[in-house]
Structure 1
Amino acid sequence: MNTIDRDLPLSTTTTKPTAKVGQPPRALINQKLAETLLGYVFLFPSLLLFAIFLFYPLIQTFYLSVHETDPRGRVASYVGFDNFIAIFTSERFYKSLEVTGLFTLLTVPTGIVLALLLAALTHNHLKGMRIFQFIFSLPVVLSVGTSAVIWMMLFHPSVGMLNYLLSVVGLEPVAWLTDPRWALLSVSMMTVWMNLGFNYIVLLSGLQGIPEEIYDSAKIDGSDPFRTFIQIIFPLLSPTVFFVTIVSIIGAFQSFGQIHILTKGGPVNSTDVLVYSLYQDAFINFRFGTGSAQALVLFTIILIFTIVQFKVFERNVHYQ
């Protein structure tokens, strides 16, 4: 060993391992993981409710649709797709589908047009318009049962207000809920009124979201109110109208309460919509397998209608 090596001994230095280039520090990874876990902790109550009241019933519906149940509602045997075959070969299913389609045609366009007309008339800032806006929004606070009872009294053949008004103008009374020619129309009238509050509030909110400068510009250009609404305002309102249409069609296909209270599917099955037919099979005849299969068929029909509307009609919606 030479003098230099003896006087200046080699010192061994230890270097700390460095993180690879582009790799986040471990502390940052732990922080993101903690934030993710905290987010799932806050979401857990909602996920639990969804699992209990949505996912489990959906799985149970799939399970029951391929089984046959006894009169007590217990699973008796596996039948595969026999329940679906029985539905699609049943004349009652197609009759219920026809009634549901006609009910949708009677309620959805009428409800949207009437709500849009009322929203356009009460959109201005004249004195007293707040009172009319409050009145037209009132049906939204009433339940289906309450609305059905109110209209049941109006439809009463002897003491109902509607037949009294007909007698005042010299017309014969109408058997609103007991005549097959009038029953579906009567239920549709009640449904349009019941949904008017929600449709009116949504469409009025859409109108109020349109800037006033657009109205002023159209007035300066000499456009009359009707032309302004059709060519300028309605295209700007198309996203709101599209939303209301989707919700109204889904609600029409799921209508049950007013039909159960007013007509119970009659007379002569003239108001026997798909949901009421499902209810009778599942909870009156205790054929839960057939009822579950009908529920899945109804879900598929609504899903197809919704997808078609998004694919076909959304191209005419102007979001800006």
Structure 2
Amino acid sequence: MSSAALDVGADRTRSRGATSDQSTVTRRSRDNRIGWLFVTPFVVFFAMFLLWPLIHGFWLSFTGESITGAGGAFLGLDNYAEAVRDPIVWRSMLNTLWFTILSTVPLVLVALVMALLVFQGLPGQWLWRLSFFMPFLLASTVAAQFWIWMYNPQLGLVNYLLGALGGEGKAWLQDPAWAMVAVVVETLWWTVGLNFLLYLTALQNIPEQQYEASALDGAGRWRQLRSITIPQLGPTTALVVILQILASLKVFDQIYVMTNGGPGGVTRPIVQYIFESGFTGYRFGYASSIAYIFFAVIIVVSLVQVRFTTRRSAA
């Protein structure tokens, strides 16, 4: 074959390759445009309802902005300095931390026990699953009002049952020693269904062959629970703990409805104080500074949790 023919063949090959590359680039460009078209509604709503409020709120934290729109002068770090010196800020932080500690442990353990009971084959499983999960579907105000009636000192079911058992009733939501515990019990009843569902799903994903092999080796139910079930649920437990801590740190609804932060401020969480500073005290700038201090605390807690979880998984 002559060199001219070889050159012509090579030119055709290069031409087809260039055409193919151009077609690929055109197709990718078209796919990118279509992709951005689908993503645009989310980007617009994300910018309008999350990104812009985040930026605007951060700017307000450096101003004296009020709910009326007046007093928007730039104050620098004055709001942050005042928040650091404000004893109510730290008391509300401690209340939030105390609620998180009281609620996280039972919400993890009770959910695990409920999931294990259903997984072991209780009669009428559909009824148990419905009963455990249904409270989670209620609005926070509905669940709170239900327990306000339950805790009623004169007519409430809690005091009635205590009296029937020979115990002494209390004004649960008005007693500083018991108000936070009463809110935690309501929160446990109301939200444990989600953790229960996460654990039940994880249990159903454990290979049945592991239980069969351990049974052949003579392992009983308790040994299987310790050696197979609990270790296999490790990632789910980490997820549940992280979600529960973050949810507890942001508590507001049930406390606001049930106690309004009382009695004497012993149940006031930091989110309620932010709300009160902005919408009752009309100080948007100051409320924003407290919110961003709390935001920084949540970020630190989240990073510590992720670091701890990552190390534990690696080990």
Q: TM-score with structure 2 length normalisation? A: 0.91
How far apart in 2 are the matches of 1:217 and 1:230?
15
Instruction: State the 1:98 CA deviation.
Output: 0.9
Superposition pairs for residues 1-320 of structure 1, below 5 Å? 18=14, 25-70=21-66, 72-317=68-313
Partner AA of 2:60 in structure 1: L
TM-superposition CA deviations, 1:2-39 (whole Å, max 9, x none): xxxxxxxxxxx9x8995699997222111101100100
Label 1:295 to 1:186 Cα distance change in 2 as closer, same or farther (>3 A).
same
Q: Distance in 2 between matches of 1:147 and 1:71?
A: 31
Are the counterparts in 2 of residues 64 and 292 from structure 1 also a CA contact under 8 Å? Answer: yes
For residues 101-131 of structure 1, give each alpha carbon's deviation from its aligned partner in whole angstroms, at most 9, with x where no partner exists: 1100110111110010010111024542222
Q: Secondary structure at the match of 2:73?
A: strand
Opposite residue 253 of structure 1, the aligned amino acid is L
| Runs ≥4 residues deviating over 3 A | 15-24
The alignment partner of 1:68 has SS state of coil
Distance 1:226 1:315 in 2: 28
1:235, 1:317 within 8 Å by CA — same for their partners in 2? no
Query: How far off is 1:235 after superposition?
Result: 1.4
Letter aligned with residue 276 of structure 1:
Q
**Gap regions ≥5 residues in structure 1:** 1-12
Deviates more, 1:64-73 or 1:281-290: 64-73
Structure 1 residue 74, shift from structure 2 partner: 3.7
Aligned sequence identity (%): 30
> Structure 1 stretch 168-177 or stretch 22-31: which is displaced more?
22-31
- Give the RMSD, CA atoms, in angstroms: 2.2
Structure 1 CA distance for aligned equivalents of residues 191 and 207 of structure 2: 27
Residue 151 of structure 1 deviates from its aligned partner by: 0.5
Max Rg structure? 1
Tell me how many residue pairs correspond in the alignment.
306
State the secondary structure of the residue aligned to 1:171: coil
1:145-167: CA deviation from partner (whole Å, max 9, x where unpaired): 11001111101111000011111
Distance (Å, rounded) in 1 between the aligned partners of 2:122 and 2:97: 40
Q: Which moved more, 1:229-238 or 1:99-108?
A: 229-238
Distance 1:173 1:37, change over 3 A: same
Would the aligned equivalents of 2:66 and 2:285 in 1 still touch at CA under 8 Å? no
The CA distance in 1 between the partners of 2:169 and 2:259, in whole Å, is 18
Give the drift of 1:305: 0.8
1:315 deviation in Å? 2.7
Provide the rounded CA distance (Å) in 1 between the counterparts of 2:48 and 2:253: 24
Matched residue type, 1:233 = T
Q: Which amino acid aligns with 1:217?
A: A
**Greater Cα offset, 159-168 or 216-225:** 216-225
Alpha-carbon contact 2:67-2:278 (below 8 Å) kept: no
Question: What amino acid is the match of 2:89?
Answer: F
